[in-house]
Amino acid sequence: MTCIFTISRENLCNLVVMKEKTMFKHPTAIVESEEIGEGTRIWHFVHVREKAKIGKNCTVGKGVYIDTEVEIGDNVKIENFVSVYKGVKLEDDVFIGPAVTFTNDLYPRAFIWDDDRICYTVVRRGASIGANATIICGVTIGEYAMVGAGSVVTRDVPPFVLVYGNPARQEGFVCSCGRKLDRIIREEDEKLVYACECGKEVETRK
Ligand SMILES: [Zn+2]
């Protein structure tokens, strides 16, 4: 018996759209969570633990480890070999460079562990962390802040602030587009307003 299927152009388009929206998992990845958003791509040798949440349209690069109960928003990009431990939250549009390491215990001992020791870290919307940086737990990295490659972050980073070094120190401000800001166009009581080449104005605290 011969069976011939026909499919309309409209249905074919829907199929393609559905395929793009579904999450992609490379066959070598171990994904124990079911809370992975549409359009998210999980690459070679990634391990996502149970109860981790990953939003829509994220990229999780080769060899990344996502611990249990980690929360990751939408459009987050995590480059190769990053470790994200329990107690870390990454909001939407965050960029995590290759080999960045998060921590979750300020005074670790191999022979003592319970959840009371977890020290929480938040990376706010749009922030970027450069390659090989280490984020000591208990800090908040503000919206659109930028951490230079190889930095060791030991305290909070305010929104739109650029930090680098060990320990990471404030070295200026950045725009949401990622450019460093150096042109002040207005100065108010507690604020400086910078203009970026991209046309945006960014308000910062003095
Ligand atoms: Zn800009």
Give the pLDDT score at 3.
45
Tell how strand 83-84 and strand 169-174 pair up: unpaired
More confident residue, 115 or 99: 99
C-alpha 186 – ligand 1 centre gap (Å): 16
Torsional class of 65: left (φ above 0), alpha (ψ -120 to 50), beta (otherwise): beta
Residues within 5 Å of ion ligand 1, judged at the Cβ atom:
175, 177, 179, 196, 198, 200
C-alpha 128 – ligand 1 centre gap (Å): 14
Q: What is the pLDDT of residues 37-85, one digit of tens each?
A: 999 999 999 999 999 999 999 999 999 999 999 999 999 999 999 999 9
45 near 63, Cβ under 8 Å?
A: yes
CA-nearest of 139, 178, 146 to 164 is: 146
Q: Which residue has the tokens 């994904």?
A: 31
Q: How far, in Å, CA of 161 to CA of 159, rounded?
A: 5
